[in-house]
Amino acid sequence: MNVSDAIRGRRSIRDFLPDPVPESVLRQIFDAARWAPSGSNIQAWRVIAVTGTKRDAVIRMARSKHEAGLVRSEAFPIYPPNLWEPLRSRRFALAEDMYRALGIPREDKVARRTHVARNFEFFGAPIGLFFVIDRRVAHGQWAHLGMLIQTIALLIEERGLGCCMQEAWAAFRPELAGMFNLSADEMVYCGMAVGQPDRTKPVNQFERTRISVDELAEFLGFKD
């Protein structure tokens, strides 16, 4: 598989088979991913991988908090309040495409909430990753962490596995920090569900959209 195929083949997987993924496979992925670039090579990142009883404990914590309605936003919000256009519409379009694939109409708030809660079961994936960053870093290091995350996602794709990055876990940052004994300076940025995709599920098949090259890029000074 070449890089272009991995980039185009990767998609967010939101329904997994329970098949386990061995630690050795995860280690190979991290061994390759640690070569992701970071400004000044400072590598201000850390990954915590959970499976088995550790995964179950995280799920239990999230379920109890979510059921109690204790999902809260805090410092470092994932999105700014009042997201503006065209970003707002893109976000809305993704939700519509995804819920259509799931067969959940807009009015069915309970079913939508139930799907959101599937985040907190890693969508059935056997492995959960948590990306940890130091609160003291500047914005550059947050971008660097993104490079590591996408590198891991592409390596997962290369191995025929799948993943879903999960900002949803930001709702439980204090609880996760406690469970993983993070230092006072550390926080979980986001999670990632990793496993064998259930490719039969429509939620893993719906067509995704992207802005065009001309919306993405501006070409200055080119002659060809």
Residue with tokens 């290091």: 141
Question: Considering beta carbons, is residue 21 or 129 the nearer one to ligand FMN?
Answer: 129
Say how far apart CA 220 and CA 24 lie, in whole Å: 46
Task: Note whether 119 binds ligand FMN by CB under 6 A.
Answer: yes
Question: Considering beta carbons, is residue 24 or 141 the nearer one to ligand FMN?
Answer: 141
Tell whether omega for the bond before 18 is within 30 degrees of 0, i.e. cis.
no
Maximum separation of any 2 CA atoms in the chain, in Å: 61
Task: Note whether 141 binds ligand FMN by CB under 6 A.
Answer: no
Task: Note whether 165 binds ligand FMN by CB under 6 A.
Answer: yes
Task: Note whether 60 binds ligand FMN by CB under 6 A.
Answer: no
Those residues whose C-beta lies under 8 Å from the C-beta of residue 168, and which sit 6 or more positions away, are: 116, 119, 120, 191
Q: Do the Cβ atoms of 36 and 151 come closer than 8 Å?
A: yes
Q: Which of 102, 129, 132, 164 binds ligand FMN (CB under 6 A)?
A: 164
Of the listed pieces 10-18, 68-76, 102-110, 171-179, which binds ligand FMN according to CB under 6 A? Answer: 10-18
Of the listed pieces 9-17, 57-65, 81-89, 134-142, which binds ligand FMN according to CB under 6 A? Answer: 9-17
Residue least distant from ligand FMN (Cβ): 168
How far out from the chain centre does Cα 58 lie? 16
- Tokens describing residue 96: 């519509």
Of the listed pieces 48-56, 135-143, 162-170, 176-184, which binds ligand FMN according to CB under 6 A? Answer: 162-170
Say how far apart CA 68 and CA 86 lie, in whole Å: 34
Number of residues that bind ligand FMN (CB under 6 A): 12
Q: Which of 51, 141, 151, 166 binds ligand FMN (CB under 6 A)?
A: 166
Those residues whose C-beta lies under 8 Å from the C-beta of residue 49, and which sit 6 or more positions away, are: 26, 127, 128, 129, 130
Contact set for ligand FMN, span 83-112 (CB under 6 A):
94
- Tokens describing residue 110: 């309970």
- Build a one-symbol-per-residue string for 175-194: x at contacts with ligand FMN by CB under 6 A, - elsewhere: ---------------x----
* Beta strand pairing call for 16-17 and 186-197: antiparallel
Task: Note whether 208 binds ligand FMN by CB under 6 A.
Answer: yes
Task: Note whether 36 binds ligand FMN by CB under 6 A.
Answer: no
Task: Note whether 133 binds ligand FMN by CB under 6 A.
Answer: no
* Single-letter residue type at 93: A
The string of DSSP codes covering 167-206 is GGGGGGHHHHHHHTT--TTEEEEEEEEEEEE-TTSGGGTS
Residues that bind ligand FMN (CB under 6 A): 11-12, 14, 94, 119, 164-168, 190, 208
